[in-house]
Amino acid sequence: MIRGDDEVFKFSLIMLAKLNQAKNIGKGSWLNCKKSYLLWRLLQESCELARALVNLYFAEQRFKKNPSLRTRDMTAMARHNVAGEAADVANFAMMMADKAGGLERQTASE
């Protein structure tokens, strides 16, 4: 087994789900966006990830002090939010790599 294979696969599913949400489908291709815009969005999403991590920290602290169904659910939701925000960051990083020409495209004839 390749190191990280399972985690990368699971994370890619989250990335694809976020990328293909109804609100994102109509936005068109990122190849039509300026690299500066994609970088700006990457930075914004990075800030959202940082905020989600802080929220997770506090949710975990609340759960430790008061292990109830409510605090358990809050912690699970916070973990889910971290994964989603991390996927948003990864998606914008992927878009920038693609826009910069770093991702090879294969044609049907290859």
Domain ranges of the chain: 5-19+33-99
- Give the pLDDT confidence score for residue 25 in this predicted structure: 84
Q: Which pLDDT score, from 0 to 100, does residue 108 have?
A: 53
Integer Cα distance of 38 and 40 in angstroms? 5
What per-residue confidence (pLDDT) applies to 110?
A: 47
Q: What is the mean pLDDT of each run of 10 residues along the chain (110 residues)?
A: 91 96 87 95 98 97 94 96 98 95 67
What is the rounded distance in angstroms from the CA atom of residue 47 to the CA atom of residue 102?
Answer: 25
Asked: is 5-19+33-99 a CATH 1.10.287 domain? The reply is: yes
pLDDT of residue 79: 97
Quick one: pLDDT at residue 27? 86
CA 31 and chain centroid, separation = 19
pTM, 2 dp: 0.87
